[in-house]
Structure 1
């Protein structure tokens, strides 16, 4: 495991000890570190974890060197490269030109031709792509075990699940292999693995970031989240990649006008929380105690926590995998299911095959209900700065998850499934350390286009925890 304290400033000749959070990388650059050496160090770290299933594929070392040299030359020539020295990875359902897209199902093996436009945006800003991250196959799962062996493991304790489906994207950041990563999020895949590995997962408003070049789970629900060590770092990347994309039919026309400036609510602002009798931790006393501590931190910041009925949000969450919406998965993956079923993970097949039984009428009814529940969220959250829940109710060991792969995967989405069907934005931010040493996290959730306020509240929470030690 590659870990280091963000406070430790290593000698420039000791890049293997450098933390890759944004502040540490930029401090090293200010001290004279070579951005090419930083990119090659990230590639070395990625190669070193090759046996841990954090990546499905790496960009060749020579290509990494060439791209880093090009960025460094542009910076010397006076170009503004705000992401110079930073390295990143992307989930293996995001197309990268010249690399095969597998969605962690080798028999899929798509040649994308052109890559996602997000890659170009980040590279033009000076960041260097290192590789593609492992994931629950077809982005179907919230645990990280629905993939070929060897399994990706939790960065804090390898006996535990890394969360999914963007498992490798979160672990690559948590283990200091890259500075940031991009994933995909349908029902929590950008927040659950962030929570399980103690990093930030920022899930934007639907349509704020282009999904062009993404192998979809759901065109209605998919978005591209950002994983980083700090909230401000995730917000910086979101500001870089957000914006209207005329080629993407799901892109919001007002994407460029959405304010992504960190705007924390004032002390005394009302924050919605689920009624206490509706909070579920599935017997995990350490998770419950950590969440109580996290709520205490919000109260110490001066916020007024108000309990609301969570039942409508739970109903919205059930739409993701317990309605005709699941049939949409067959649009992108149906050919593999029909013609190469041997390459599909059994748990993924069990999750998606029920889609074959739904009628077109069922699908329309599910879409109608989704719109009704999105309006219900607007009404329920009116007058609140945010809704705050745990991000995950518990963290299972890998053995526990494999013993009950379907039911326990559903448990992981208890507090995340509802967000996209209700057209909400969210950030998962690390909270108090649990008594057993595992991370906890809260989800700060807001209405569509409230990303700046969600970022600001998450930053205030993060700062208070940092100050408290």
Structure 2
């Protein structure tokens, strides 16, 4: 399959059908419309036009304008139809990206859980009993499940980082003001940022280059020579973390140190105290400025006999409505306190290039959030809430797993140091791609092995037309992929996953015969390590190549 815009768009819709996660989307564009746009992009490229993101598929959070699709902010009664794309969307489209649709979110971008929406709770990409994280839940899951190459979210309190960490992808929150927020339904307009979700640092960095309205790195502020200097928190200052999270954070710090970075332990108290100001102080009043009148008018219509306000999430409506009662003098007092905390934070950072923190203290289940919606949400913002109040940028990246679930850390940097954060993150995110064709495919019995190693789905594809597939007599059932030297080879359904380099070593060490790891050629001409089979195991094995892949073979055998 050629890597054209049309092929990538078709693969995205095939993936949407395969994963069957309708709660990701608020409005999904009709497939024929997207394919028509993709053909146009392919024609422009063929004519010599330079489109750096040609065919990259893009999901857009439902509070960001996409021309022709309703902007709902996850509240149907609030919806309006924009005439033009938000500048952030327009910038990526101008570079060749294709919008698939708008994604679900915590209503009015108020929340870090991904459950506060009349369109349904967005479940975690691979552990459906867990929250996906919010408010940019649908955007993050669309990337994590391999549907979209990129997704736009927003980040006021951490919404571009929490769902990235939970779902094992990259979340880049730029410096406030670096990316235009025009065409975005505001949460707290002075703090809002448009954020980027991607599966790799390179993809996120590439997207930001097209989104930025000014150079990301300020002129006249060269970095002093020497290895990167990273501030880390004293573990006792982190507060209560989920089991295993403190150790995972320590491992991430150790990996940076092993890469040559200089680590310094600092007092993170000013960051934690500033974080508490975002919702417990007067800054939340700006949410009332954004949509408070709308919320109050709809709440006033509510009565025992009507459900006129039924599309307002009660938790979100309560937060926004109460914010309108905050007196003005509290805002001025909180601004003064924030200024003092910002000065202290700058002092404790010293000459550090970045601060390394866990993105969240833990990962709650849907049941835990339902039992304590305000408390669970507040806990998730402990480390993220202060970033925009301080005017900083941040980058969330995968840093291993805890109990089989992704664990993420973030690097927080001074304004306009996004490129520096990406450079630092590359020091401890070395990964390798792996091709799977059988029991490790999404939804198959051995897929949890990949997830436990910190693997992330990259894309669905097929092999080059030089392979045959056999059903092996193993427990659990597995296929054997073999390369053929004759003309009888064909393409076989495959998935590409990305996992930490050490994870591949662990997998290879535990791989039972007759399975083996070798280079598998793909239909786009690339190759990567993948599961193959020792030829001796094929004696008596059923040739299932005609099915086109392991899933089709299994679906033809009910109860298999």
With structure 2 as the length reference, what TM-score do the two structures score? 0.72
CA distance 1:423–1:149, shift in 2 (3 Å): same
Query: Does residue 135 in structure 1 map to residue 102 in structure 2?
Result: no
> Is it true that 1:400 corresponds to 2:359 in the alignment?
no
2:541 paired residue number: none
More strand by share: 2
Residue in structure 2 matching 1:275, options 200, 224, 234: 234
The match for 1:446 among 407, 413, 416 is: 413
Contact 1:52–1:153 (8 Å) recurs in 2: no
Which range moves more in the overlay, 368-377 or 420-429? 368-377
Alpha carbons of structure 1 residues 275 and 289: separation in structure 2 relative to 1, 3 Å = closer
Paired residue for 2:23, among 39, 53, 74?
53
Q: 1:281 to 1:195 in 2, by over 3 A?
A: farther
Q: Residue in 1 aligned with 2:171?
A: 201
Indicate the larger mover: 445-454 or 146-155: 146-155
**Which has more helix, going by share of residues?**
1
Of the candidates 411, 416, 423, which is equivalent to residue 379 of structure 2?
411
Q: CA deviation at 1:46?
A: 3.2
Q: Does 1:229 align with 2:199?
A: yes
Q: Tell me the equivalent position of 2:397.
A: 429
Question: Are 1:141 and 1:409, in contact at CA under 8 Å, matched by a contact in 2?
Answer: yes
List aligned pairs for 1:214-253, cutoff 5 A: 214-243=184-213
Return 335-344 or 67-76, whichever deviates more: 335-344
Deviation at 1:277, TM superposition (A): 1.2
When the two chains are superposed, the root-mean-square deviation of aligned CA atoms in Å is: 2.0
The 3-state SS of whatever aligns with 2:244 is helix
Instruction: Answer yes or no: is the 8 Å Cα contact 1:46–1:55 preserved in 2.
Output: no
Deviation at 1:340, TM superposition (A): 1.6
Question: How many angstroms does 1:257 deviate by?
Answer: 6.0
CA-to-aligned-CA distance 1:225-268 (integer Å, 9 cap, x gap)? 1001111110110011101xxxxxxxxxxx236369xx999774
Residue of structure 1 equivalent to 2:302:
none
Listed as ranges, the gaps of 5+ residues in structure 1 are 1-11, 13-31, 244-254
Match of 1:355 among 292, 300, 323: 323
Is contact 2:157–2:384 with CA below 8 Å preserved after alignment? yes
Aligned to 2:489: none
Larger displacement relative to structure 2 (308-317 or 146-155): 146-155
Counterpart Cα distance in 2 of 1:431 and 1:416: 17
The DSSP-based 3-state class of the residue aligned with 1:306 is strand
Q: Which residue of 1 aligns with 2:263?
A: 305
1:100 counterpart (70, 74, 79) = 70
- Cα distance 1:127–1:259, how it changes in 2: closer, same or farther (>3 A)? farther
Matching residue within 215, 224, 235 for 1:256 = 215
Matched residue of 2:147: which SS? Answer: coil
Structure 1 residues 446 and 34: CA distance shift in structure 2, 3 A: closer
Whether 1:117 and 2:87 are equivalent positions in the alignment is: yes
2:231 alignment partner, SS class: strand
Distance 2:254 2:332 in 1: 43
1:126 and 2:93 are equivalent in the alignment: no
What does residue 437 of structure 2 align with?
A: none
Distance in 1 (alpha carbons) for counterparts of 2:87 and 2:17: 26
**Structure 1 equivalent of residue 142 of structure 2:** 172
Runs of 4+ that moved beyond 6 A: 263-267
Could you tell me which of 276, 279, 294 is aligned with 1:318?
276
User: Structure 2 CA distance, aligned partners of 1:291 and 1:165?
Assistant: 24
Q: How many residues align?
A: 424
**Which residue does 1:337 correspond to in 2?**
295
Provide the C-alpha distance between the structure 2 equivalents of 1:452 and 1:375, rounded to a whole number of angstroms: 24
2 CA distance for matches of 1:38 and 1:51? 19
Gaps of 5+ in 2: 300-308, 432-498, 504-560
1: CA distance, partners of 2:339 / 2:182: 24
* Cα shift at 1:315: 1.2
CA contact (8 A) 2:216 2:417 kept: no
Report which stretch shifted further, 453-462 or 164-173.
453-462
How far apart in 1 are the matches of 2:341 and 2:108? Answer: 26
Contact 1:107/1:340 (CA < 8 Å) preserved in 2? no
Larger deviation, residues 335-344 vs 319-328: 335-344
Contact conserved, 2:25 with 2:138, CA < 8 A, in 1? yes
Which residue is equivalent to 1:468?
A: 502
